[in-house]
Amino acid sequence: MSYSESYDVVIVGGGTAGLVLAARLSEDPSVQVLVVESGQDQLANPQVLTPAMWPMLSLPGSPLDWAFQTVPQEGLGNTVLTFPQGRLLGGSSGINSFLFTPTSQTNVDAWAHLGNKGWDFDTFSAAVKKSYTFHPPSGPTQGDGPLQLAAHVSEPEGMWTTAWIDALDTLGFPLNDPFSGRVCGPFPHPESVYPATKQRCFSANAYLGPARDRANLTVLTETNVTKILFSKGGSDASSGDKIAEGIQVTTKDGETRLFGARREVILAAGTINSPRLLELSGVGDAALLESLGIETVVNNPHVGENLQNHVYTGVVFSVPDDVPTLDPFFRQEPQAMKAAMEAYAKFTGPLGSSSIIASAQLPFPGIQTDEGKQDLDQLVGKHLATSAAVPPQAPTTPAFAASHESYVRSVLSSPTDASANYIIGPAFTAFEDPNPFYRAPGNHITVAVMLAHPLSRGSVHITSASPNNAGNNTGLAVNPRYLSHPLDLEVLARHVRFAEQAIGRAEPLARHFKPGQAERERFGDLEKAKEYVQKTAKGSHHYTGTCSMMPREMGGVVDEELKVYGVANLRVCDASIVPIEPRVNTQAVVYGVAEMGARLIKESLWPGQA
């Protein structure tokens, strides 16, 4: 096979993980690295760099978003939902909200307990810490990694953050350290924002920026990878594994080119595109591939399975007109916008933040009481002990299903582990309006509630063999199967009720609400809370699991070194390898996965370089 050019390492995807890998692997000038990204270079785009603009980056028709869509979701009234994913250098770290919250120790240890040696919490936490430098409002900086983190301290956000933390403290949940791995309580959000300029900090400027001029690093943008190429020789003589020889791409001019990989091909295309490219290249369920006319290279029916994502909804509280919120800013009222722009010129104000100002990671409501424990025991007995009698959540192995359920049960039963993540924002959120950008008149506070560890599992699979689909959002079926596991609905509904009846009444937060807000009983009836969840719940942008890291016989696609089973020199290094959904948003997790991957690759290919 004739290749245009060859490199030691070919990285498919210049997103969050791909650019970490590119920067770390090209530190050795003798290693030739190629990165191929489908999207554009947007490092000079003020919309990308201005933090508060992030909701606008995934609007319909945006060239920066793959804009995948789900199949109709039965658990949400057959609603079709969008699946945003970044299509630019930096990937989703360039378009999503940029909260940086590491996952819990118990979550990472659960990955290790699946059989992933070396992925214990201490090791993974060290990899995450290698990625960032945190600039707290007071005190010394923490860490010396490329990604810069800061906490937003402008007003009125600061007032609401303080009220939130003090209110949670009265409920028995004191202020926590979000980097500890043992969070059970509130904290202000670290955000990946340059502290001095209040511009977005993401993998494109933090990692790629300093490495861009290296002679051994080549970055191609607006180039679609359509196939991984395998040697016709068939397999590695020592292991019987296939050999990835290179990739086939289509340039922005429509030209087909082939690039060779002397050492490795690394898929870092994300939770949707990584399994898609595997299947288009012949790695996946043989029955599916053969039905589409694709020659099977490696038969692994687990490719594209185990898709997991957080579901969330929330409650909105009305606030008197004389209590400041960000509602006028989000309604784009002229005076508020003028004030915001003037503040941003001084590196402060709402334009410099995501406006998602603080969180609280909280346990199953009432688990500290006998009544709460009894409630949980009944739910577990109904929905886990008899899970074999309900329809399967997705094609998966009994061993993984049992491990997944065991972990979630341990979280639910612990008074110090969190089964939901609560987020406060000082503005209205349209949970019940068909237009997600609707902004109601008046002032409001939103408390969003996100299920931390869903048991519902779905899939991503191609529906066409056409290589043209690799450059758009067609030719595949994305089915997260939200709320398909009955326990997810039960747990999220109880947390929504807790948000209304406990947090909504806690001082000093409640004193800022309009009279009567704290006394409302909309979700006093649990069935009404469940109906509300089914009507209003949406999917977060936290997709994982479709190339899961675990033993192949358990349902794995990659091993503990991120190598694809059945291929000697092909790895996946992105959110798709995470086998059990992280507790919160995935940004910190993906940086940790990428730093782990860079070290593993260096140790494997160039011993002594890690």
Tell me the HSE value of 364 on the side-chain side, using a 13 A CA sphere.
27
What is the maximal distance between C-alpha atoms in the chain?
Answer: 75
Question: What is the three-class DSSP state of 370?
Answer: helix
57 Cβ contact list (under 8 Å, min separation 6): 47, 48, 64, 65, 94, 95
Q: Residue 78 region, left (φ>0) first, then alpha (ψ -120 to 50), else beta?
A: left
d(CA 553, CA 555) in angstroms, rounded, equals: 6
- Using a 10 angstrom Cβ sphere, with 0-12 exposed, 13-18 middle and 19 or more buried, the burial of residue 580 is buried
Element (H, E) at 443: strand 443-451
57, 463, 535 from 472: Cα distances, Å: 17, 13, 30
Coil, strand or helix at 529? helix
- Cα-Cα-Cα-Cα torsion 124, 127, 585, 274, nearest 10 degrees, comes to -90
- Give CA–CA dist 32/216, Å, rounded: 5
Who contacts 488 (Cβ-Cβ below 8 Å, separation ≥6)? 311, 451, 454, 455, 456, 482
Q: What is the C-alpha to C-alpha distance for residues 368 and 351, in angstroms, rounded to an integer?
A: 40
Cα-Cα end-to-end distance for the chain: 33
Query: Tokens in use for 373?
Result: 């424990």
Tell whether 225 is in a known binding site.
Answer: yes
Residues at the binding site for FAD are 225
The binding site comprises 225
